[in-house]
Structure 1
Amino acid sequence: YGVMLAYTPLHYMLFKSNGPRFNALVMTSGNMADEPIAADNAEAFEKLSGIADFFLLHDRNIYMRVDDAIARVGSGKTRLLRRSRGYTPNTIMIGEETKDILACGAELKSAFCLTKNSHAIMSQHIGDLENLHAMEFFKETLKNLKNTFRAEPKIIAHDMHPDYLSTRFAFEYANAESIPRQMVVPVQHHHAHIASVMAEHGLNKSVIGIAFDGTGAGLDGTLWGGEFFITDRRHFERKAHFECVALPGGKAAIKEPWRMALSYLKTTFNDGAASEAKRITGSVGEKKTTAILKMIDARLNTPLTSSAGRLFDAVSSLIGLCDTLTFEAEAAIELENTARRAKHKDEKPYAYSLSVQPDAPMRIDFRPLIRKIMLDLKSGVDKESIALRFHVTLADVILDISTRLRTESRINDVALSGGVFQNSLLSGLAQAKLSSAGFNVWLNEQVPANDGGVALGQAIVAWESVKKYFC
C-alpha cells in the first residue's frame, strides 16, 4: 500500500538491535485473509503457525484490535482509503443534532457508524463481514464504542441487500433492543455513498451524485454500480446508469474478470463473441469459454449489473492484463497502472452511445467502446494507450451526463463516491473536466470512498427519514 514510519518502541528496537540490521521492514497485519487481527499469543500460534516462520511475542495484551489506517495524499488533500488507527474514534461533525443512530455498513471493508448529538463516530476498519470471526469483532467493537460514547441507538440503518451479515445483524439488534420497525431504515447502497460525501462537506441541498463501484443492490432487482443520481440527504432519483450486462456466475465473475470480458463480448458481438475471445480461450481453455457463453445465452446464474467496477475488470481482461484476481481490485489496479505508462497523455476518448427515453433513466452503452478496443488490439495498438483512452472515456461520460443533468435541474454540485473513485487517475481526470466546466466537485476525504464509508451515509439518510417522528 505505501510506507509508514516506526511508531512504537518495539519498532525502534527492531531497527536498533544488536542483531541483524534492517534498513526497512515489510510489515502486514497478523491475520488470515478475511479474518480480524489475532488478538493474543495463543490465537496467533493457532492461526498463523502455518504462515509465519518466527513469532515476536509481547507481554501486553491487546485491548482493541485496530488496523493501520491508509491514506493517499495529493493535490493538497488527504483522502482515506482505510479509516482506522490514528483516525478512529475521532468524530465527524454532521451539522445537526440527531438521536442515537447505529448504521451497520455494508459487507466488504466493513465499518459501522454511531451518532451522538451532532457527532458521527465511525468504527475502525473491521474487514469483510463474511465469517463468524469478523462478525464477532464487529460486535466487540460496537460494545466498546457504545460504552465509550454512552450511545444507546434507537434508530438502525442498514444496506438493502438482505443477505449481508450487517443487514441480518441490524434486524437482530433491533429485535433484541425492542426498537420499533419504523426506526429500522433500509438505505440504498449508492445513495449511502453519495450521502457520505454530503455529510462530510455539509451539503444540505440536492447534488448530482455519481456512484461507481463493484455492485450494490438496486431497486429494480439488478445489481447497480455505474449510477448517476439527483439526490438529497433523504431521497434520490436514478437519472442515468451504465447499460446492464450479465454477471456470469454471480460472485465468481468478481474474482475472474475474464467472465466479464466474455459478457461484454457477448453483448457487443452476439454470435461472434467466441471468435473475438481467442486470447481468453487460450488463457482459460475452450471448455470454460464455451460454458460461460452458453450460461449467458441461457440466462443461467447471470444476474444483470450496471457496475463500473465490472467494466474495468472486463477491459483489463480484454487487453490481457488480468484474467484471475489474486487480490481484490487487481484487474482495475493493473488497468490504472498501465494507463499511467502511456507515452501520449492526450489520448482521445472512445465512442459510446446514449439511450434517452421519456420518464426513464438514460442508459450508457459501451458497445462502441468494446468494438474499438478489439479493433485496436488487432491493429497492434499498445495496451498503455488503450488503457488511458478507456479512462479518458469514462471521464467524458461523467462530464456529459453531469452537464445534461445540470441543464435539467440547475444543480451545480457534483458528488463522486464509490470504490472506483479510489482510482486517482479517473478521479483526477473527472475532477479536472468537471471543474473546467464550472461544477463544484466533492469527494470523500474523512471516510473512504469505498464501502468503508457507506455507514456514514446510511446514518445521514436514516435520520432524514425518521426525524419527523421527533420534531
Structure 2
Amino acid sequence: MTGARTREKSGQTEAWRFEVHGTVQGVGFRPFVYRLASACGVRGDVRNSGGVVVITAVGEGPVLDDFAARLVVEAPAAASVTGVTATRLGDSPVPAGFAVLRSAAEGAATRDIPPDLATCEPCLRELFDPGDRRYRYPFVNCTACGPRATIIAALPYDRARTTMRGFAMCPACEADYRDPADRRFHAEPIACPECGPRLAWYPGGQRDEEALTAAAAAIREGGVVAVKGIGGYQLICDGTDPRAVERLRAAKGRAAKPLAVMVPDKAAACALADVTTADLDALTSPARPIVLAPRGRRPQGSLAPQVCDGLPDVGVFLPYSPLHHLLLRDLARPLVVTSGNHAGGPMMIEDDAVRRRLGPDVDGVLSHDRPILARYDDSVVRVVAGRPSTVRRARGLAPAPLPLPAAAPEPVLALGGQLKHTFTVANGRRAIIGPHTGDLADAETLAAFEHSLERCLRVEDVEPAYVAHDLHPEYLSSKHAARWPADRRIPVQHHHAHVAATAAEHGVTGPFLGVAYDGLGLGDDGTLWGGEILLATYTGYRRLGRFSHAPLCGGATAVRRPARMALGYLFGAEPLDQRGPDTKLAADLLARLPEREVAVARRMIDRGVNSPLSSSAGRLFDALAALLGICDDNRYEGEAAMQLEAAARQQDTVDPLFWRLVRRGGLWVYDGAATLRDALTARADGEPPARIAAAFHQTLAAVTAELCNRVAADVGVGTVCLSGGVFQNRTLATAVLGALDEAGFEAFLGERVPVNDGGISYGQAAIASARLAGAMERG
C-alpha cells in the first residue's frame, strides 16, 4: 500500500481515502466494500471514479488497518487488485453509516475492463428453479457473473454506460439492486423477464420461451441454428448427428479442421475426453475456455466423426451463459458450438448482417435485443506438461491486463502480425491484449480489428504515442502502422517478439535464450525465418542458431501445399557438406504428384524463381508429412503438422532420427535435410510412418537442447523462452521442455499469452516499451 497510514492513538477516529487499482469495476467490488465496511463498523462511502474504486473510510485506527488489509485479501474472485493508495483526510463530518455513491468519470487512473464471467452456481440454481421469478430466463446474472467486456461502452462501470442502459429496471429488480444483502446489489446487468432482454426466433417471430423451444426443435431435428451469444453469433448443431455437422461445415465454409463441442458438465466432458486435473481446472474456471484434450479411449460412439476431423484431440467446453445452459438441458446431447462467420471472416455481431448473410444457410436465428459492443470469440487452452497454455486469448481471458517488464514512458499501440491477429495497448506497466480477431487477410477482418481497437482506446481512455509493428511490409497490420509518422513507428522482428512475449509473461529480467519455431517471419536479413535460436533482451537480440534453409517453391503455394515444400528439400536443401534427401527414396511422393508440377518446381528452384529461402521449423514439419504420405495439402493452417503429431502419438518411446549441427556464418545450424534423408531411409526399410513421426519429434527435442547447450557455452545464459506456433504441438513442447530441464536449463513456455501469432503484439509491446524507456534514460 502506498501512502501508508500512520497509526494515531488507539481509539481515536480517523478519516482516510483509499483508491483501489486493478480490475475492480464490473466484478462486484463496490458491493463487497459495502459489506466489508458494515462488518468492520467502518463508516463512509464507496464509488467508481475513472478506472479505480474510491473509498472514504472513517473509524478507529486498528479497525481501518483491518479494513484496508481485507480489501486485498478478501476481494471478489473475479477482481485483481494491483495496488491501494491511502490518503489522510482532514476534519470532516462523520457519516452515520456507509453508502454506495453514484460513479464519477473524472480521474486519469488506468482502466481495467473486466472479462465476461461464466454463470455462477447461485444463478444456475435460480435458472432451473420453477419457483424463482427468473426461472428459465436466459439473461440471469449477478455481481459474480455475466457479461462485462462485451457490454461496456465506457468506464466507470455503471448501467448507463453499458448496453443495458436501454432496459429500465422493474420494481423487483430495482429492489434487488438497492438491497445491500442481495447478491445483485449494484449488479449493473441485472435483469428479469419483466424488464430485461428478450429472445426472438427468426423467421417465425416467436419470442422468449417459444423462441427457445423453436431453436431447440430445429437443432433436435438435425438443423443448424445461428445463436446470438455473449460476444457474437455462434453456429450450433447436434454434435452426434453426422449430417448436421456436415451442414454446419457447409454453412460456415469450413470443410475441414476440428470443431468445438459444448457439454453440460464435467462428467460429460470426462466421457468425451481423457481430461487431467489441470484440464478440469481450466474447464471450470470463470473463463470457461475450450480445452483441447485427447479423445477418450472408448468414445461412446456419441460424437459424429466429422467433429474432430480425424485428429486425436477434441475441443470440449462447458456452458458459460444461461442460454447455453438452457439449450443443453433441453437437448441433452453434446452440441457443436462454433463462431458464427464464414471461414476466414470475423465473428458476426450485427443482427441484420447475420440474417442477411447466414440466414439462407441455417434453419433459423435465435437472437435477442441486447446489443453486443465488442466481438469476443471463445478462448482456447491446451494443457502442456501440466500447465495451461493459451491457444486463443479471447472471451473470459481478454482484456485482463498483463504486466510489462519495463514501463512504457508514453502509451504504445502494438499491432501484431497477420495470422491469429491481436493488438496490444501498453500504458505504463500494464498491457491490454485485445481480443482475437482472426487472420488479418481482407478488408472485412481489417475493419473488425479497427472497430475493436477504436473501442478499446476509447474505453481505456488512451491515446497511443507510438506504434510497434512487424517487419513484413505486406502485412495489413504493417500497412496500418504506415499511417503513422516515421519517427513514431517502432519495427520489431517477428521472432524477437515471439520470445519476448514468453519472457515478459514470466517476468524474466536478464538476457535469455529465445527458441522461436513457427511457420514464417521476415528476418532482419531479408530471408524468411522460423527455426531460430536467439540471445535476447527486451531491447535487442542476436541470432546464434537456426534450422537449415530450403526454398519455398511458389512462395505461399508451398505454405498451402506441403508436397511442394517437400520438393523444396528434395531439390534445393541448403548444402551443408552432406547429401540431402535422395529423390529415389522419395519415389512414392514423386509418383503421386503431376509430372509437370515436379518439373516446373525443379526449374523454379534451380533458377531461384519465386522460391525464397526459409529456415522454418513449421515448413520442415510440412515436408516430412508429405514425404511420409500423411498430408500433401493443407486444408487449413497447420494441418500437416497436426496430422504428423497425431501419427506420432500412436507410438510409445522411440529413438531419434539422425541429426547433426554444423557451423556456418558464425551460427549453429541444424541440418534438417539430413534428418529427412534418415526418415526416408527408415521408411524404405519398412518403418511405419507413425513411428518415424514419433522419432522426428524426439529428434527436434534433442536438437533444441543441444543447440541451447552450444550457444549457452558461448554466452553463459541458462534461461530459455520458447515460442512460435510450432510449440502448440503438445508432443513436441512436452519433449523439448523435458530435454531442456534434463540439460539444466530453466525453460518457459507461454501460458497466458499464446505462443502462436496471437502473442506477437504483446511481445512487440514489451520490446517497444523497453526501448522507449531505455532511450529516455539515456536522453
TM-score category by the smaller chain? over 0.9
Q: Is 1:422 the counterpart of 2:728 in the alignment?
A: yes
Partner of 1:156: 467
Asked whether the 8 Å contact 2:539–2:771 carries over to 1, the reply is: yes
Letter matched to residue 77 of structure 1 = R
Letter matched to residue 660 of structure 2 = S
The TM-score, its normalising length taken from structure 2, stands at 0.57
Shift of 1:275: 4.0
Distance 1:417 1:201 in 2: 12
Which is further off, 238-247 or 50-59?
Answer: 50-59
Q: Deviations over 1:401-447 (max 9, x none)?
A: 10111111111001110000111111111111111111100111111
Letter matched to residue 448 of structure 2 = F
1:251 to 556, 560, 563: 556
Distance 2:395 2:401 in 1: 13
Which is further off, 36-45 or 119-128?
Answer: 36-45
Asked whether the 8 Å contact 1:210–1:228 carries over to 2, the reply is: yes
Partner of 1:307: 616
1:464 to 737, 752, 770: 770
Distance 1:11 1:51 in 2: 22
Q: Is 1:333 the counterpart of 2:642 in the alignment?
A: yes
Distance 2:619 2:761 in 1: 23
Q: Is 1:236 the counterpart of 2:236 in the alignment?
A: no
Q: Is 1:372 the counterpart of 2:692 in the alignment?
A: no
Letter matched to residue 256 of structure 1 = R
Partner of 1:178: none
Distance 1:375 1:384 in 2: 14
Distance 1:275 1:295 in 2: 20
Shift of 1:137: 1.0
Asked whether the 8 Å contact 1:229–1:240 carries over to 2, the reply is: yes
Q: Deviations over 1:39-71 (max 9, x none)?
A: 122211332245434332323222211000001
Letter matched to residue 68 of structure 1 = D
Shift of 1:391: 0.5
Q: Deviations over 1:181-238 (max 9, x none)?
A: 3331100000000110111011121001110000000111110000001111111100
Q: Residues 236, 258 of structure 1: CA spacing in aligned structure 2 closer, same or farther, 3 A cutoff? A: same
Letter matched to residue 383 of structure 1 = P
Give runs of aligned pairs for residues 268-287 of structure 1, distance below 5 A: 275-287=584-596
Asked whether the 8 Å contact 2:548–2:673 carries over to 1, the reply is: no
Distance 1:26 1:400 in 2: 43
Q: Is 1:26 the counterpart of 2:336 in the alignment?
A: yes
Asked whether the 8 Å contact 1:105–1:111 carries over to 2, the reply is: yes
Distance 1:75 1:276 in 2: 36
Partner of 2:480: 169
Letter matched to residue 325 of structure 2 = Y
Letter matched to residue 568 of structure 2 = S
1:436 to 729, 735, 742: 742
Asked whether the 8 Å contact 1:339–1:384 carries over to 2, the reply is: yes
Letter matched to residue 320 of structure 2 = Y
1:6 to 316, 319, 333: 319
Give runs of aligned pairs for residues 71-220 of structure 1, distance below 5 A: 71-98=381-408, 99-172=410-483, 174-175=484-485, 181-220=486-525
Shift of 1:104: 0.4
Secondary structure of the corresponding residue to residue 470 of structure 1: helix
Partner of 1:320: 629
Partner of 2:365: 55
Asked whether the 8 Å contact 1:71–1:82 carries over to 2, the reply is: yes
Secondary structure of the corresponding residue to residue 368 of structure 2: coil
Asked whether the 8 Å contact 2:407–2:769 carries over to 1, the reply is: no
Partner of 1:353: 660
Distance 2:490 2:514 in 1: 21
How many correspondences in the alignment?
459
Distance 1:103 1:323 in 2: 36
Shift of 1:267: 3.6
2:712 to 396, 406, 412: 406
Q: Is 1:362 the counterpart of 2:665 in the alignment?
A: no
Which runs of no fewer than 5 residues in structure 1 stay unpaired? 176-180
Shift of 1:469: 4.3
Q: Residues 10, 207 of structure 1: CA spacing in aligned structure 2 closer, same or farther, 3 A cutoff? A: same
Letter matched to residue 282 of structure 1 = A
Stretches of 4+ aligned residues off by more than 6 angstroms = 269-272
Partner of 2:305: none
Distance 1:277 1:438 in 2: 39
Q: Residues 44, 408 of structure 1: CA spacing in aligned structure 2 closer, same or farther, 3 A cutoff? A: same
Identity %: 37
Q: Is 1:35 the counterpart of 2:345 in the alignment?
A: yes
Q: Deviations over 1:365-415 (max 9, x none)?
A: 122212111111111101111001101111111011101111111110011
Distance 1:285 1:15 in 2: 49
Distance 1:457 1:304 in 2: 25
Shift of 1:73: 2.4
Letter matched to residue 615 of structure 2 = S
Asked whether the 8 Å contact 1:262–1:277 carries over to 2, the reply is: no
Partner of 2:329: 16
Q: Is 1:294 the counterpart of 2:603 in the alignment?
A: yes
Shift of 1:242: 0.7
Which is further off, 296-305 or 283-292?
Answer: 283-292
Asked whether the 8 Å contact 1:116–1:149 carries over to 2, the reply is: no
Asked whether the 8 Å contact 1:265–1:276 carries over to 2, the reply is: no
Distance 1:285 1:248 in 2: 15
Asked whether the 8 Å contact 2:515–2:721 carries over to 1, the reply is: yes
Shift of 1:468: 3.9
Asked whether the 8 Å contact 1:262–1:273 carries over to 2, the reply is: no
Shift of 1:96: 3.7
Distance 1:294 1:470 in 2: 53
Distance 2:760 2:482 in 1: 18
Higher RCO (Cα < 8 Å, 6 or more apart): 1
Q: Residues 148, 251 of structure 1: CA spacing in aligned structure 2 closer, same or farther, 3 A cutoff? A: same
Shift of 1:294: 2.0
Letter matched to residue 33 of structure 1 = A
Distance 2:533 2:581 in 1: 32
Secondary structure of the corresponding residue to residue 446 of structure 1: coil
Shift of 1:95: 4.3
Letter matched to residue 169 of structure 1 = H
Asked whether the 8 Å contact 2:504–2:763 carries over to 1, the reply is: yes
Distance 1:352 1:45 in 2: 56
CA RMSD across the alignment: 1.8
Distance 1:311 1:51 in 2: 39
Q: Residues 271, 209 of structure 1: CA spacing in aligned structure 2 closer, same or farther, 3 A cutoff? A: closer
Letter matched to residue 110 of structure 1 = H
Secondary structure of the corresponding residue to residue 110 of structure 1: coil
Distance 1:51 1:234 in 2: 50
Distance 2:423 2:385 in 1: 29
Shift of 1:290: 2.0
Distance 1:416 1:271 in 2: 28
Partner of 2:753: 447
Q: Residues 270, 403 of structure 1: CA spacing in aligned structure 2 closer, same or farther, 3 A cutoff? A: closer
Secondary structure of the corresponding residue to residue 336 of structure 2: coil
Which is further off, 4-13 or 196-205?
Answer: 4-13
Distance 2:406 2:380 in 1: 29
